[in-house]
Amino acid sequence: MWTFEVSTVMKNRFLAISSAGPNRDSSKGTREQPFWDEHAAFIDQLVEEGYILMGGPLVDERGMPHGALLIVNAEDEKEVRDKLKNDPWFTHGILKLKSIERWQIFVDARK
């Protein structure tokens, strides 16, 4: 049986998909990248605000990160771009925003 999410908050869900930026050091893990502390603080603030619902690195078969995925609450794609443009990893080229997709949730097993 499918469950359908009905939200009282008039926001949409978006997937923000990033790839490695030109300044990402592929020999280092996620937490070893430059500006990690600043990036983590920025993301933590958006989580606290209820803007980011889930997120984390995208990894290859060896477990090496090559990008990131965020699931966010936003009115539209412009809001997602405006909110994420100040992430230190975007401003310093550790990540680059690859795509933003609106996501309609049909199945949600969380209780």
Domain boundaries, the chain: 14-103
Closest CA to 75 of 19, 11, 29, 17: 11
Considering the domain delimited by 14-103, tell me its CATH architecture: 2-Layer Sandwich (3.30)
Q: In 3-state terms, what secondary structure has residue 49?
A: coil
8 Å CB contact between 15 and 74 = no
Across the chain, what does the average pLDDT equal?
A: 90
CB neighbours of residue 94 within 10 Å: 23
Whether residue 7 has pLDDT greater than 90: no
Calculate the alpha carbon distances from 55 to 1, 3, 46 in Å.
27, 22, 11
Closest CA to 27 of 68, 69, 67, 64: 64
Chain segment 47-102, per-residue pLDDT in tens: 999 999 999 999 989 888 889 999 999 999 999 999 999 999 999 999 999 999 99
Please report, rounded to a whole number, the percentage of residues in the chain having pLDDT higher than 70.
Answer: 91
Q: Please give the Cα distance from 28 to 37 (Å, whole number).
A: 15
8 Å CB contact between 64 and 7 = no
Prediction pTM value = 0.85
